[in-house]
Structure 1
Amino acid sequence: MSGPASAAGGAPRGSGGDPAGADRYTVVSADCHAGAELLDYRPYLAAAHHEEFDAWAASYVNPYEDLVADTADRNWNSARRLAELERDGIVAEVVFPNTIPPFFPSASLMAPAPSPGEFRRRWAGLRAHNRWLADFCAAAPGRRAGVFQILLNDVEEAVGEIRWAVAAGLTGGVLLPGTPPGSGLPELHSPVYDPIWAACADLGVPVNHHAGSASPPLGDEPAARAVFMVETTWFSHRALWHLVFGGAFHRHPGLRLVLTEQGSGWIPGVLDMLDYYHGRLVAAATRSATAEARFGAGLADSMGARPSRVWRDNCFVGASFMRPHEVPLRERIGLDKIMWGSDYPHDEGTYPYSREGLRIAYAGLPREEVAAMAGGNAARVYGFDLDLLDAIAAKVGPTVEEIAEPLGTPPADATSPAFARGGSVRVW
């Protein structure tokens, strides 16, 4: 895995490598969320959908308390959002969706893949969100990388939307939906999705896979909710081995995959496991007399390099609020791979205690490592201009001295799991 030198890329920007931000970090949150207020999506829909939208919106009941609370406008109030992020020490953000797009029964991240009869309406709804997002990002030039949405039911339509979004200035890349059991869609390893991988590689934008976007519906019983919490990150991890074993990176060497809000401590062990199966199956393919040979047939030619090499060359992790017990694994994960995120405006995010969230994870680490994980890596992956951001960070960013101080007792009213007891090797 990559070490500190490649992670820092020389002197750390915004943390001693640049005079304008000599004593402050330039923090880029690689995991934030936004969306329009429900009725504000209407102007972004084609006129042919307006009557249908009016009827749908009149009967829609939002199932999410945070989207009807008096703080819900954090999702769409650009001025409030900039002010709160700056108070939290954050100067730029990667913006994933959050509010309900038109014609969806629930959040688009977690809604099961639509049936053919629902595709037309849901596709119109996602395209409306993408157009709203382009305007929302344009309201804060250089400070928001918007992640646009597609559906996998029609690959040609998806590729057209990817090209539109990039031309419209959305630099966050595509949000890859999951293909959970029962979706009826081809699995992500299928070559049917090759035009999507090709478009993203050609246009230089990442493919993002966010936690929660690949879980099958489990019901609403208490046990089902608990099982969802246990399984949801695993279902999201599946995108990694589907694309690796499916050969997407072999056919498209410029393709980049970002796995966000799925933790990071699992990565070294999973890469070891994938390398093991890769080696075992490739070797078995040369022994045609064995029963296992059929599992490895064609694998080496189709997927190329071993999974750990693919990770090193093509993959990144939006680790969100990295836990202290994950930090010792940072060199095995790759210091140039890890991107911190606040998960704003979710109540499980670190706001308004992001400085404390950075301290709990990164206190005592070399400043060039903190600079890379807290902002430098995200700036590189999503194309942020560090000259622009360093100047803002020089006024609002957390100081190097502040983040170096270990956090004692977490804030009493903090709601983020980043501060949860038992989630760290440290004892409060």
Structure 2
Amino acid sequence: MSETGTADERYTVISADCHAGADLLDYKPYLAARHHDDFDAWAATYINPHEDLLADTADRNWNSDRRLAEMEADGIVAEVIFPNTIPPFFPSASLMAPPATREDFERRWAGLRAHNRWLADFCAQAPGRRAGVAQILLNDVDQAVREVRRAKEAGLTGGIMLPGTPPGSGLPELHSEVYDPLWAVCAELDVPVNHHGGSASPPLGDDPAARAVFMVETTWFSHRALWHLIFGGAFRRHPGLKLVLTEQGSGWIPGVLEMLDYYHGRLVTAAARSVTAESRFGAGLAEKMGAAPADIWRDHCYVGASFMRPHEVPLRHRIGLDKIMWGSDYPHDEGTHPYSREALRLAYAGLPPSEVTAMLSGNAARVYGFDLALLAPMAARVGPTPAELAEPLETVPADATSPAFAKGGAVRVW
């Protein structure tokens, strides 16, 4: 895509946030035979708690042809795929649903491996167009390391989905060096570490107030991975490590980086002074981190900016234009389908085509290894044109359900 764009050019659009998974019973062939009886017993009594997986649109998660057709109608030619359906032996999609016994953990690991195997096959149905994100657990770092290697060998180019460690999980916090073998293998194999919104919140219950509090706090709990890995020194010890924060918004990033830089400078300065009440909080921090938080963000971090909203776009240079990867969140109700073109017009109308290109495909291609030359013929057929996306959206589709079209939304700077 040139700087000015011409009438016959089209954008290559890669969604950096989509979701997929197998229909429940279709996971069985991907389990080792020793788990088949347990799977049959579990599946026979399982009640799916998610309405979207019971609707007639549920097959968007696993129907490859339908998925390709609907995404192409939206102008999208490639996708990064996070999990969505329920893996075997899990009560819900949450990776942090606490298992009761070691046997539960073993079954959960088997279920995640089954999903990862299924996902590798699903990605292979559309070569070069799907970067699958593998699932792991954090209770056994050695198993996690082995699964990273297996997923890479199987062709899952989306990296791993990093679970959160919410209060009450019983897991070491993400700043702990106990996870160093995991960061090391991800850096060695150039595997992105993805932390998706909603995967780090503690259970709050089903009271109306609890549900409201969850919505207010869930992105904050997801953001915690950023400062845990930064202050924990993971990027200093593993210079090749890449962290992607997905479906957590993007407008919060400049303010949080300023806050982290403030605390870093304050604590490092305090540690260099004679003993004070604050000096102990900064002791050893400079050596552990190796750089300031904003510099670490610049060198190691990216944002999967799902349905980027207009109020976030003016912050793109403060976030880093080379950091932002637009996502449709297909097939979720809050995703932009079938109005992704309209969502892009609402957010990006009036921007230079080179900047739009970076956020729609260039950054995702660099992070996840998509071959833009391979995708170009498909984009030439279905992608939106610069003229189309340059046209401001005057009227929001009446039946649009994505927050991309929500009114208001002041920039939050913490």
> If the TM-score is normalised by the length of the shorter chain, which range does it land in?
over 0.9
- Alignment correspondent of 2:407: 421
1:22 CA drift (Å): 5.1
Structure 1 residues 254 and 114 mapped into 2: Cα distance closer, same or farther (>3 Å)? Answer: farther
Looking at structure 2, the residues matched to 113 and 414 of structure 1 have their Cα atoms a distance apart, in angstroms, of: 38
1:23 CA drift (Å): 1.7
Counterpart residue identity of residue 355, structure 2: E
1:423 CA drift (Å): 3.4
Contact 1:150 1:161 in 2 (8 A): yes
- Alignment correspondent of 1:403: 389
Structure 1 residues 109 and 368 mapped into 2: Cα distance closer, same or farther (>3 Å)? Answer: farther
- Render the CA deviation track for 1:366-422: whole Å, top value 9, x for unaligned: 000001111111111100000011111000001110000000110001011111122
- Alignment correspondent of 2:176: 190
- Alignment correspondent of 2:93: 107
Trace 1:216-295 onto structure 2 (pairs within 5 A): 216-295=202-281
- Alignment correspondent of 1:298: 284
- Alignment correspondent of 2:20: 34
3-state SS of 1:231 partner: helix
Looking at structure 2, the residues matched to 160 and 100 of structure 1 have their Cα atoms a distance apart, in angstroms, of: 22
**294, 304, 308: which one aligns with 1:318:** 304
**369, 374, 377: which one aligns with 1:383:** 369
Looking at structure 2, the residues matched to 83 and 23 of structure 1 have their Cα atoms a distance apart, in angstroms, of: 21
Looking at structure 2, the residues matched to 22 and 253 of structure 1 have their Cα atoms a distance apart, in angstroms, of: 41
- Identity percentage over the alignment? 80
Trace 1:87-106 onto structure 2 (pairs within 5 A): 87-106=73-92
Contact 2:165 2:200 in 1 (8 A): yes
Looking at structure 2, the residues matched to 393 and 218 of structure 1 have their Cα atoms a distance apart, in angstroms, of: 44
**139, 150, 162: which one aligns with 1:153:** 139
Looking at structure 1, the residues matched to 164 and 99 of structure 2 have their Cα atoms a distance apart, in angstroms, of: 8
- Alignment correspondent of 1:3: none
Counterpart residue identity of residue 75, structure 1: N
Structure 1 residues 60 and 86 mapped into 2: Cα distance closer, same or farther (>3 Å)? Answer: same
Contact 2:95 2:137 in 1 (8 A): no
**302, 308, 321: which one aligns with 2:294:** 308
Counterpart residue identity of residue 75, structure 2: G
- Alignment correspondent of 2:163: 177
Trace 1:42-57 onto structure 2 (pairs within 5 A): 42-57=28-43
Looking at structure 2, the residues matched to 115 and 353 of structure 1 have their Cα atoms a distance apart, in angstroms, of: 45
Looking at structure 2, the residues matched to 112 and 413 of structure 1 have their Cα atoms a distance apart, in angstroms, of: 38
Looking at structure 2, the residues matched to 356 and 313 of structure 1 have their Cα atoms a distance apart, in angstroms, of: 32
- Render the CA deviation track for 1:313-344: whole Å, top value 9, x for unaligned: 00000011111011110000000000000000
Looking at structure 2, the residues matched to 51 and 317 of structure 1 have their Cα atoms a distance apart, in angstroms, of: 41
Worse overlay, 237-246 or 102-111? 102-111
Following TM superposition, where does structure 1 have runs of at least 4 consecutive aligned residues deviating by more than 4 angstroms?
Answer: 112-115
Looking at structure 2, the residues matched to 113 and 260 of structure 1 have their Cα atoms a distance apart, in angstroms, of: 26
1:424 CA drift (Å): 6.8
Looking at structure 1, the residues matched to 407 and 370 of structure 2 have their Cα atoms a distance apart, in angstroms, of: 35
Looking at structure 1, the residues matched to 178 and 88 of structure 2 have their Cα atoms a distance apart, in angstroms, of: 27
1:357 matched to 2:371? no
Contact 1:112 1:180 in 2 (8 A): no
Structure 1 residues 374 and 110 mapped into 2: Cα distance closer, same or farther (>3 Å)? Answer: farther
1:113 CA drift (Å): 6.8
Looking at structure 1, the residues matched to 183 and 100 of structure 2 have their Cα atoms a distance apart, in angstroms, of: 22
Counterpart residue identity of residue 137, structure 2: L
**328, 334, 359: which one aligns with 1:373:** 359
- Runs of 5+ consecutive residues of structure 1 not aligned to the other structure: 1-10
Contact 1:324 1:424 in 2 (8 A): no
Looking at structure 2, the residues matched to 237 and 177 of structure 1 have their Cα atoms a distance apart, in angstroms, of: 12
Counterpart residue identity of residue 213, structure 1: S
Looking at structure 2, the residues matched to 211 and 192 of structure 1 have their Cα atoms a distance apart, in angstroms, of: 23
Q: How many residues align?
A: 411
Counterpart residue identity of residue 210, structure 1: H
